Amino acid sequence: MRTLYTFFRSSTSYRLRIALALKGLDWEPRFVSLPNMAHRTPDYMALNPQGLVPALVEDGKVFAQSLAVLEYLDETHPEPPLLPGDASGRAYVRGLAQVIGCDIHPLNNVRVLKYLKARWQLSDDDASEWYRHWIAEGFRSFEETLAASGLSGSCCLGDTVTIADICLVPQVANARRFLCDLAAFPLSVAIADRAAALPAFEAAHPSLQADAF
Amino acid sequence: MRTLYTFFRSSTSYRLRIALALKGLDWEPRFVSLPNMAHRTPDYMALNPQGLVPALVEDGKVFAQSLAVLEYLDETHPEPPLLPGDASGRAYVRGLAQVIGCDIHPLNNVRVLKYLKARWQLSDDDASEWYRHWIAEGFRSFEETLAASGLSGSCCLGDTVTIADICLVPQVANARRFLCDLAAFPLSVAIADRAAALPAFEAAHPSLQADAF
């Protein structure tokens, strides 16, 4: 059996829940409450010294970093593939996933918002402004990359779900939770909304997880 | 011929210069001055709508996002390999690379430091404190992951250079430029210093680039 250390609202956990569902893989959840700092307890740090969620445990091995775990799941369970078959297509899809995984999410992580508020006494409004700034810049980058390539269909690349869609859907959900205006990114939002309606994406939605509140 | 859009001090450009040198691939530089905002000119944005460096152009195709480009170079020029041969090893190495590429670098990017200073009138000292905070937390995570796995040798995984080392060396160089105390991370620093002395890493060093100042 495989175990996923997850928090319902963590968008990186959400990515892995989607991939596990797409691959039809069974998993058991272990809930790690970020508000309760459960990711920083000695027990969890012994499992994943990075002190972040998600972590996947399979065959006694612990895997951290969601983008790395997506590739691991794709390599060990190739059907359906989450990356295209050609090197340049893979570079394109990985690049899109990384616009979200490297240019948007790390800046808007809960730990970053907390630090800004604690260290410089920024208000909730300031933190929201920060959040929205990086959403706007990151989605501009994502949208223009999609538009310039002309490669999107119902999904980011053609009509097949890839890791780009798997990263996009949780980021759009998060942006909406922070009331970001996404009107300037119609291509990205339409792709995310179509993907979010697929059964595997629906099953992975934060609101359906047993730790949701 | 392939072209790399690069800035000498950009640690993500540095990653690609290392990989190109390790693979023995010829490339022509196009220098993109970040201080001069050359990455936001209409010409550059037409090439890479993300408005960031690096970008690799090969066979008329443009590839953005350095971690995706590292994988592309490894897939299209497999020798020497930059990832191990087994799925769990690849997940481990990609995870290490992503501790740097997702948990450290995005927070300490020039654009982020600029935003903090411009929006909230933070001083240079404040920006340095922010930089050092994420270096300390990110390197703690990296160091403890290395130590817990027991898999490092002269390199992050055994004695073979991987994308983990390629990401680590520029991040250590950057941390030193910001005068960060790295004494608590002896394993990571020793690996970085050994790798940095290899010819391919030396050739890629910021100070040796034609746009260095």
The pLDDT tens digits for A31-79 are 999 999 999 999 999 999 999 999 999 999 999 999 999 999 999 999 9
Any idea which residue has 């933190």 for tokens?
A127
Residue A125 is encoded by which pair of tokens? 């409004």
Nearest to B192 by CA among B45, B58, B11, B1: B11
Q: Check if the beta carbon of residue B18 is closer than 8 Å to that of residue B169.
A: yes
Q: Check if the beta carbon of residue B72 is closer than 8 Å to that of residue B99.
A: no
Superfamily of domain B3-80: Glutaredoxin (3.40.30.10)
Q: Which residue of A has its CA nearest to B92?
A: A63
pLDDT on residue A170: 98
pLDDT on residue A208: 98
Cβ–Cβ gap B102/A102 under 8 Å: yes
Phi, psi of B139, rounded to the nearest 5 degrees:
-70, -35
Q: Check if the beta carbon of residue A153 is closer than 8 Å to that of residue A161.
A: no
What is the ipTM for the molecules in this complex?
0.98
pLDDT on residue A116: 94
A/B interface, count of CB pairs below 8 Å: 126
CATH fold for the domain made of B87-200:
Glutathione S-transferase Yfyf (Class Pi); Chain A, domain 2 (1.20.1050)
Nearest to B9 by CA among B44, B42, B39: B39
Nearest to A63 by CA among B42, B82, B87: B87
Nearest to B165 by CA among B146, B182, B149: B146
Cβ–Cβ gap B102/A99 under 8 Å: no
Segment A170-192 mean pLDDT: 97
Taking contacts as CB-CB distances below 8 angstroms, the residues of chain A near B71 are 90-91, 94
**B182 contacts: CB under 8 Å, gap ≥ 6:** B139, B172, B175, B176, B188, B189
For B122-138, how does the pLDDT look when each residue is reduced to its tens digit (9 = 90+)? 999 999 999 999 999 99
SS3 per residue for chain A: CCEEEECCCCHHHHHHHHHHHHCCCCCEEEECCCCCCHHHCHHHHHHCCCCCCCEEEECCEEEECHHHHHHHHHHHCCCCCCCCCCHHHHHHHHHHHHHHHHHHHHHHCHHHHHHHHHHHCCCHHHHHHHHHHHHHHHHHHHHHHHHHHCCECCCCEECECCHHHHHHHHHHHHHHHCCCCCCCCHHHHHHHHHHHCCHHHHHCCHHHCCCCC
**Given this structure, which CATH class describes domain A3-79?**
alpha beta
Handedness of CA A22, A24, A25, A29 (dihedral sign): positive
Task: Name the pLDDT band for A1 (thresholds 50, 70, 90).
Answer: confident
Q: Check if the beta carbon of residue B44 is closer than 8 Å to that of residue B38.
A: yes
For A66-101, how does the pLDDT look when each residue is reduced to its tens digit (9 = 90+)? 999 999 999 999 999 999 999 999 999 999 999 999
pLDDT on residue B212: 97
Segment B81-92 mean pLDDT: 98
Domain ranges of chain B: 3-80, 87-200
In angstroms, the separation between the Cα of residue A102 and the nearest Cα of chain B is 5
Residue B75 is encoded by which pair of tokens? 């897939």
pLDDT on residue A18: 98
For B143-196, how does the pLDDT look when each residue is reduced to its tens digit (9 = 90+)? 999 999 999 999 999 999 999 999 999 999 999 999 999 999 999 999 999 999
Residues in chain A: 213
In angstroms, the separation between the Cα of residue B76 and the nearest Cα of chain A is 7
In angstroms, the separation between the Cα of residue A126 and the nearest Cα of chain B is 9
Distance CA(A59)–CA(A57), nearest Å, equals 7
Cβ–Cβ gap B102/A105 under 8 Å: yes
pLDDT on residue B26: 97
Strand order from edge to edge, sheet including B3-6: B28-31, B3-6, B55-58, B61-64
| pLDDT of A26 above 90 | yes
For B33-65, how does the pLDDT look when each residue is reduced to its tens digit (9 = 90+)? 999 999 999 999 999 999 999 999 999 999 999
Residue B31 host element (H or E): strand B28-31
Taking contacts as CB-CB distances below 8 angstroms, the residues of chain A near B147 are 49
Amino acid occupying residue B103? D
Cβ–Cβ gap A68/B120 under 8 Å: no
pLDDT on residue B1: 81
